[in-house]
Each structure stands twice: as structure tokens, then as C-alpha cells.
Amino acid sequence: MQGHTPQSVADAAAVATLLQIGAEIGADQVLDSGGTFSAARMAKAADVPLAGITTYLTALLAAGLIVETEVPGDFQVAADYSDLRHQAGYVSWAMHANGPFIDNARAFLIDPVEAARTHRRDGQRVAVSSRWIGERAFYPQIVERVVAAGALRVTDLGAGAGGLLIKLLHEHPARTATAVDSNGAACAAAREAAHAAGVHERLTVVERPIESLVDDPGPVAGAEAILACYVMHDIVADDSTARNVLGALRDALRPGGFLAVADAVSYAQGPEERKFSALFTYLHATFMSVSLPTEQEWLDKFEKAGFSQTRTVPIGLPGGRLFVATG
């Protein structure tokens, strides 16, 4: 990896595995809460024996991922925990979330349709690693835009566990938000997270496919900002669906509002992004039957749907772009 020492690569691999073990046992909620915690509290939250958690915490402490507090037996995450978790997200997504694709690569290359039916990824693993990446790579740029525009009615399409909207709800007490996702588990996770964050009264969660907004735009009607992060590539592959869905979003926006789409472009060639972008593009094409648009093809899709201006903003995810469409 250019610009990275073997030590930093070893660090990212080690942190990814340690944190992924935490996610698998349900201890990530405790680590990510930002508060202090004891081994007993983590054992209760994860519903595993105290002895197992004690040895897990010994490893996290030795790695410098957590530190002891002034209260004996209490811990908190280290100051650089979220930076390390962000780097780990790339390793977890690439190697772990995509594990079924890697393990069954031969089957996918022989009969991709049949292999895709049989070898599915674990949605929870995809969502967790995506959040670790997204929280640093593109949530901040979107939050900044929504806040700068003073948008108080916001809808997030393919909202997953609702992390981006919860951040936005924390930013302004008068803001209301709608999360749309076709996956029941993602919707349940968003409701749970909104309750835990105390913003559930201002968040509506709608379990529906984005495509259904063409016939019933209720969840986006009158929104000042419509967001869609790493979900539109599934929808815009077909030209007429792209025109219909993006056109419906444009029509539904309040005058002066904007559509912000964070997504990937096909085989980005920048020196710092080409490797991750190549993996992302290849996995989508061969293992998920999704052909990613180039940057120009994305821009054409917004124009064909009637948006008069689309700006491309770089984001921190290699091969990713933020498209802000208006008019």
C-alpha cells in the first residue's frame, strides 16, 4: 500500500479482527457508546460469560484500543479508537463482509446467477463495516451540506441503521427526518438506534423499496434534502428506472432543496483510490451483477432526470463521490 508502512497495515488488520470479534458477539454497542464500561456490563450486553469478555478486554487493552479509567475495573475506548475503527472498516468490508464471495469465487466465475442465489453475504456484517467506513468517509461532508442549507426536513434513502439521520437530528432540535429502507432488520436497527439516541420522536422509519417512491412519493414529499448513500448504484443501472426514480425525487423536493447521492464510480484511476475502487467495481460486477456508472454517466443520469445542476464533491472513500443535484 502506497504511503503506508508495513506496521500500519499490520495495525489495520489486527484492529479489524479484534473489532469484528466484538461486533460478532454484540460487544460493539458498548465500545461504540463512547461511555465507560466494565467487563461485567459488556458480558451482560453481549450475553457471554464474564471470563470470555475478560480475556477479550485484556487483548483490547494490550492493543491500546481501550484504556483503564480512574475507576478500578472500568474502561473506555482510546482517543484514536474511531480513527482505527475507520481504517479497520476497509479490512472488515473487503475480507469479512465479502467472505462468501471470496470463499466461493470459483462458483461465481462459473455460474454467477446460481452462485448469487446460494452464497449470500451477511447483511449485518455489510452494514457494520459500511458504517465504520462511512462515519468518517462521507457522513461529515453530507452533514455539513444539510446544516449549511438549513434543511429541517430530511429523508435518507437506503438509510440502513439510521446513523446519518441520527447525527443530523442531534444537530438541530427542530429537524425531522424520514428513513426509507427495504430491509426489515435495517429498519428495526434504525428504530432502536433512534430510541437509544433519544431522537425517535423526530424520526419516521418507512420499510419500502426506493423504487416505490415513483408511484407514492409520500416519504420524500416536501423534503429540503434527500440523501442516498451507497444504495443508488443498485437502482440507476437501468436507464428508465433511473429516470423515473431520480425524476420523482426531483419533483418531490421542496423548491431550493437538493438531492445528495454518495456512491461509487467505476474503476476510479486516482493513485490513492484505484485499488479499493477496483475491488469495489469488480465485486459489484461479478458477484452482485451491478455495473457501476462512471462519474460522467452518473452526471448524465441526474441531467436526464431533469436536475439542472449537479456538482461532484470528493469524499474520503476511495472511488466514491458525492453528487449534489439541484434545480
Q: For binding to ligand SAM (CB under 6 A), which residues are involved? A: 130-131, 134, 158-160, 180-183, 186, 209-211, 229-231, 234-235
Nearer to ligand SAM, 90 or 230 (CB): 230
| Minimum separation from the CB atom of position 249 to ligand SAM (A) | 13
**Beta-bridge mates of residue 262:** 229, 322
Nearer to ligand SAM, 60 or 159 (CB): 159
Q: Choose among 169, 91, 89, 178: nearest CA to 134.
A: 89
First to last CA, the chain: 41
| Minimum separation from the CB atom of position 135 to ligand SAM (A) | 8
| Minimum separation from the CB atom of position 281 to ligand SAM (A) | 15
Nearer to ligand SAM, 230 or 323 (CB): 230
Using the structure block, give the residue that is written with the C-alpha cell 472500568: 74
| Minimum separation from the CB atom of position 231 to ligand SAM (A) | 4
> How far apart (Å, rounded) are the C-alpha atoms in residues 180 and 223?
13
Nearer to ligand SAM, 57 or 236 (CB): 236
SS3 176: strand
Nearer to ligand SAM, 209 or 247 (CB): 209
Q: Which secondary-structure segment (H or E) carries 121? A: none
| Minimum separation from the CB atom of position 133 to ligand SAM (A) | 8
Burial class (CB in 10 A: 0-12, 13-18, 19+), 178: buried
**Beta-bridge mates of residue 263:** 321
| Minimum separation from the CB atom of position 197 to ligand SAM (A) | 15
7-29 residues labelled b (16+ CB within 10 A) or e (exposed): eeeebbebbbebbbebbebebbe
Is the distance from CB of 30 to CB of 37 less than 8 angstroms? yes
Nearer to ligand SAM, 212 or 326 (CB): 212
Nearer to ligand SAM, 131 or 321 (CB): 131
Nearer to ligand SAM, 82 or 182 (CB): 182
| Minimum separation from the CB atom of position 131 to ligand SAM (A) | 5
| Minimum separation from the CB atom of position 230 to ligand SAM (A) | 4
Sheet of 176-181: strand order equals 203-207, 176-181, 153-157, 225-229, 258-264, 320-326, 309-314
| Minimum separation from the CB atom of position 199 to ligand SAM (A) | 17
Name the grid cell of 7. Answer: 506496521
Nearer to ligand SAM, 229 or 253 (CB): 229
Transcribe 22-58 into DSSP letters: HHHHT-HHHHHT-S-EEHHHHHHHHTS-HHHHHHHHH
- The runs of H, that is alpha helices, within the chain are 6-25, 28-32, 39-46, 50-63, 81-91, 99-103, 105-110, 112-118, 123-137, 139-149, 163-171, 184-197, 232-235, 239-252, 274-287, 295-304
